Structure 1
Amino acid sequence: MFDQDGTPLVRIRSLSKRFDSPRGTVHAVESIDLDIARGSIVGLVGESGSGKTTLGRTVLRLIEPTSGEILFDGKDITAIPQRELTAMRRRMQIVFQDPVSSLNPRLKVGEIIAEGLVAHRVGNAAERRDRVAALLEEVGLSADCISRFPHEFSGGQRQRIGIARALALDPEFIVADESVSALDVSVQAQILNLLLDLREGRGLTMLFIAHDLSVVDYLCDQVAVMYLGRIVESGPAQVVHRAPAHPYTKALLSAVPVPDPHAARKREILAGQIPSPLSPPSGCVFRTRCPKATQECAAALPPAVALGAGHVAHCIHIEGNGR
Structure 2
Amino acid sequence: MTEPLLRIRNLSKHFPTPRGTVRAVEDVSFDIPRGSITGLVGESGSGKTTLGRTILRLTEPTSGQTIFDGQDLNSLEPAAMRLMRRRMQIIFQDPVSSLNPRLKVEQVIAEGLAAHGIGKRAERRKRVAALLEEVGLQADHMRRYPHEFSGGQRQRIGIARALALEPEFIVADESVSALDVSIQAQVLNLLLELRERRNLTMLFIAHDLSVVEYLCDRIAVMYLGRVMEFGPGAAVSTRPMHPYTQALNSAIPRPDPHAVRDREILTGDIPSPLDPPSGCVFRTRCPIARDICGQSRPDPQEVGVEHHSYCKRIEALNERRASEDA
Verify same fold: TM over 0.5: yes
- Cα distance in structure 1, aligned partners of 2:162 and 2:23: 29
> Among residues 237, 247, 254, which one is paired with 1:241 in the alignment?
237
- Cα distance in structure 2, aligned partners of 1:246 and 1:308: 13
Q: How does 1:78-93 map to 2 (within 5 A)?
A: 78-93=74-89
TM-aligned CA distance change 1:127 to 1:275, over 3 Å: same
Cα deviation, residue 321, structure 1: 7.7
1:308 aligns with 2:304: yes
Give the corresponding residue for 1:299: 295
1:28 aligns with 2:24: yes
Matched residue SS, 1:319: helix
> Among residues 98, 109, 115, which one is paired with 1:113 in the alignment?
109
Q: How does 1:3-22 map to 2 (within 5 A)?
A: 6-22=2-18
Instruction: Give a deviation string over 1:270-298, Cα, whole Å, max 9, x none.
Output: 11000000000000000000011111111
Higher mean C-alpha displacement, 211-220 vs 85-94: 211-220
Cα deviation, residue 260, structure 1: 2.5
- Cα distance in structure 1, aligned partners of 2:73 and 2:198: 23
- Cα distance in structure 1, aligned partners of 2:315 and 2:112: 50
> Among residues 282, 289, 308, which one is paired with 2:285 in the alignment?
289
Q: Which runs of 5+ in 2 are unaligned?
A: 320-326
> Among residues 197, 219, 222, which one is paired with 2:218 in the alignment?
222
- Cα distance in structure 2, aligned partners of 1:208 and 1:11: 16
8 Å contact kept, 2:242–2:317: no
Tell me the matched-pair count: 319
Q: How does 1:120-139 map to 2 (within 5 A)?
A: 120-139=116-135
1:319 aligns with 2:315: yes
- Cα distance in structure 1, aligned partners of 2:138 and 2:280: 51
Give the corresponding residue for 1:96: 92
> Among residues 225, 228, 233, which one is paired with 1:232 in the alignment?
228
- Cα distance in structure 1, aligned partners of 2:111 and 2:318: 56
Cα deviation, residue 322, structure 1: 8.8
* Letter of the 1:54 counterpart: T
Matched residue SS, 2:284: coil
Q: How does 1:114-193 map to 2 (within 5 A)?
A: 114-193=110-189
TM-score for both structures, normalised by structure 1: 0.97
| Consecutive aligned runs of 4 or more in structure 1 exceeding 3 Å deviation | 319-323
* Letter of the 2:41 counterpart: V
- Cα distance in structure 2, aligned partners of 1:10 and 1:244: 24
Give the corresponding residue for 2:322: none
Matched residue SS, 1:114: helix
Cα deviation, residue 319, structure 1: 3.3
* Letter of the 1:25 counterpart: T
Give the corresponding residue for 2:56: 60
* Letter of the 2:300 counterpart: A
Instruction: Give a deviation string over 1:27-62, Cα, whole Å, max 9, x none.
Output: 000001010001000000000000000000000000
- Cα distance in structure 2, aligned partners of 1:55 and 1:171: 19
- Cα distance in structure 2, aligned partners of 1:37 and 1:48: 26
Instruction: Give a deviation string over 1:166-220, Cα, whole Å, max 9, x none.
Output: 0000000000000001111110010000000000000000000011111111110
Q: Which runs of 5+ in 1 are unaligned?
A: none
Q: Give the aligned CA root-mean-square deviation in angstroms.
A: 1.2
